């Protein structure tokens, strides 16, 4: 049967603590840079998916400086028909 020696247990605990604190310090200094890298990567991926789904509509609407465009509404306005019916004059009877 194997027995655990005190020096072996202390070495294992020391290695676990060194790895824990080493990773903690590493992520404290380099975590923001890693996070920024992944956020840029995900932003590009979302932009590509948006452009695939909507056909780059956002880029088509951007106009160059000084370019003028006028968008008119459709001319299908409802015009009232003034000849609605026959006018009847009523008299009040006392």
- Tokens 């088509």, located at residue: 60
The pTM assigned to this predicted structure is 0.42
**Rounded distance, CA 69 to CA 63, Å?**
9
> Cβ neighbours of residue 51 under 8 Å, at least 6 residues apart?
58, 59
Residue 1: its pLDDT value, please? 62
Q: Which residues of the chain have pLDDT under 50?
A: none
31 to 19, 28, 35, 41, 52: CA distances (angstroms) = 16, 6, 6, 15, 32
Residue 81: its pLDDT value, please? 63
The tokens describing 32, both together, are 């923001």
Residue 78: its pLDDT value, please? 64
């Amino acid at each position: 049967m194997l027995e655990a020696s005190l020096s072996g247990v202390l070495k294992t605990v020391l290695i676990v603590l060194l790895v824990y604190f080493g990773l903690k310090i590493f992520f404290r200094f380099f975590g923001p840079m890693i996070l920024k890298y992944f956020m840029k990567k995900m932003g590009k991926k979302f932009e590509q998916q948006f452009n695939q789904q909507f056909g780059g509509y956002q880029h088509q609407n951007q106009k160059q400086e000084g370019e003028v465009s006028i968008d008119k509404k459709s001319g299908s306005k409802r015009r009232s028909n003034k000849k609605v019916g026959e006018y009847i004059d009523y008299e009040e009877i006392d």
